[in-house]
Structure 1
Amino acid sequence: MKLAEQWKEKWESQPGLMLITVVIWSIFIGLCIKAGALLFTSIYSLFKPTVAQDLFEGLNLYGLMNQEIWYYIGLVSLLIGIACLKAYMFYLMIRIFLTINLNHPFSKKVSDLISEIASVAIQTGILIIITTASLKWLIKRGFDIPSMGAYTGGAFEYLLLGALIYAIAKVFKRGVELQSENELTI
C-alpha cells in the first residue's frame, strides 16, 4: 500500500516527471521484449535451425549458422548484449525518475544512478563497435551476413551520450555536495 501512496503523491506533486516516467517505462518494456525475443529465438534456432531465418524483425542469420555455428552464437550473443544494455539504461532512467524529488533534486542516490547510466552508455557504444568490427571480419572471411545497420548503428552516439551524461553526473555530484553544505549551514 505504501508504494501506491508514493506513486499517488508523486503524480500529484510532480506530474511532468511521472508522465516522462510512463514514456520511459514503455520504451523499457519494448527494449525488454526485443532482448527477450532475440534471446528466445536464438536459443530456439539452435534446436530448429530454420528459425535463424527470422530471429527478430527480419534478421536473417541462417547463412552464418549453416557456415559456422560458433560464429553465429558469438554474433547473436553480441546482439543480445547490446539489446540488454539498452534496456538496462532505460531501467536506470526509471529509477532516477522514481527517486528524484524536485524540492531537493540533488541526492547521492540520483547522482550514482546518473553515473551508472553514463557507464552503461559507454559500454553500449563499445559493444556496438566490437560487434561492427566482428561483422566486418566475418564478411571479409566470406560469411553470409545481411545488412545489420539497425542492430549495430549508433556507436558514436552512445559514446557521446555517455560522455555528456558523465559530465552531468559530475555537476550533479557537486550539487549534492553544495546541497549538503547548505543543509549543514542552516
Structure 2
Amino acid sequence: MHMETKSPYWVFPAVKRLVTLFYYLVLAALVIFAAMSSLKLLNAQTGPFPLGEGQPNYVSVPVAWAPQSDKTIVTAGEPRLFLTPQKQTGQLQVPIRSGPGLLMSILGLVGLAGALWMFFLLRRIFSSVQADSPFQPAIARRIAAMGFLFLGQTVVELLIKLALWQQTRPYFKQITIASQTSLSVDIQLDSPWLLGLIMLALAQVYRRGIEMQLENELTV
C-alpha cells in the first residue's frame, strides 16, 4: 500500500485533468475568435488602412521594417560593447474583408483548430492509458495522428503565410516610413513540423513496444 502511494501513476490522472482544462480553454478561444471574426465580416466597412491603434472591423497584420542605419554601434570604454540595430516592428490594421484580413483570420482559425485537435487526441491518449497494459494500438494510432496533424498544419500555415506576403504588397506601397525603408510581413515560418516528425517516430517506437508486449504475453 505504501508503494502504491509513491507510484508515479498518479501523474496520469493529474495530467489528464490539466489536458482537459486546456482543451476547453482552447475550445472557448476558438468559439470566441470565430464569433468575433464573423461579426467583423458582417459589420465590415470600407476605409483607410491605418498603422497604429486598433480599429473596429479591422485585423492586425504584424509588419517589420529595417532601421535607417544598419551600422554596428561600438562603445568607447572598456570592455568594448557592440550594439547591432535590429528591425522595427508594428501592427498594420487592415479591413477584415481585404485579402490580408481574411488570410489573418483563417490563419488564426487554423492555429486554434490545430491546438484543439491536439488536446483532443491527448485527452483520448490519457483516457486509454492503463497501468497494467500501457501499450495499446489505439494509443499508437493517436500518436501518429498527432504527428500528421503537426505536419499538415505546417503545410497549411506555410501556404497561408506565403499568400499573406503576396497580398500585403499593394498596401505597403501606400505607406512611406522613411527613405530607403521597406515594409514586410513579420511572420516566421516556424510551424511545428519537427515536432510532427518526432511524434511519428515515437509512434513507431510505441508500436514496437506493443509487439514486445504481445510476445511476452504469448511466452507466459
Per the shorter chain, which TM-score range?
A: 0.7 to 0.9
Q: AA paired with 1:65?
A: I
Q: Give the C-alpha shift of residue 63 in structure 1.
A: 1.9
Q: 1:64 to 1:47 in 2, by over 3 A?
A: closer
- 1:8-34 deviation digits (Å, cap 9, x = unpaired): xxxx99321111112212222222122
In structure 2, the residue matched to 1:53 is 58
Alpha-carbon contact 1:44-1:51 (below 8 Å) kept: no
Instruction: Return 5+ residue gaps in structure 2 as ranges.
Output: 1-6, 45-54, 61-90, 175-182
In structure 2, the residue matched to 1:114 is 143
1:76 aligns with 2:105: yes
Larger Rg: 2
Percent identity (aligned): 18
- What pairs with 1:90-129 in structure 2 (closer than 5 Å)? 90-129=119-158
In structure 1, the residue matched to 2:200 is 166
- 1:139-162 deviation digits (Å, cap 9, x = unpaired): 22326999775xx7631xx10110
1:154 aligns with 2:190: yes
Alpha-carbon RMSD: 2.9
Alpha-carbon contact 1:52-1:62 (below 8 Å) kept: no
1:179 aligns with 2:218: no
Aligned residues: 165
Alpha-carbon contact 2:114-2:153 (below 8 Å) kept: yes
Alpha-carbon contact 1:31-1:86 (below 8 Å) kept: yes
Alpha-carbon contact 1:106-1:172 (below 8 Å) kept: yes
**Matches of 1:168 and 1:105, distance apart in 2:** 14
Q: TM-score, normalised by structure 1?
A: 0.75
Q: 1:146 to 1:16 in 2, by over 3 A?
A: farther
Q: AA paired with 1:161?
A: L
In structure 2, the residue matched to 1:3 is none
1:20 to 15, 19, 30: 15
Q: Give the C-alpha shift of residue 77 in structure 1.
A: 2.4
Q: AA paired with 1:180?
A: L
**Matches of 1:24 and 1:148, distance apart in 2:** 31
SS in 1 for 2:130: coil
- Higher fraction of helix: 1
**Matches of 2:184 and 2:56, distance apart in 1:** 15
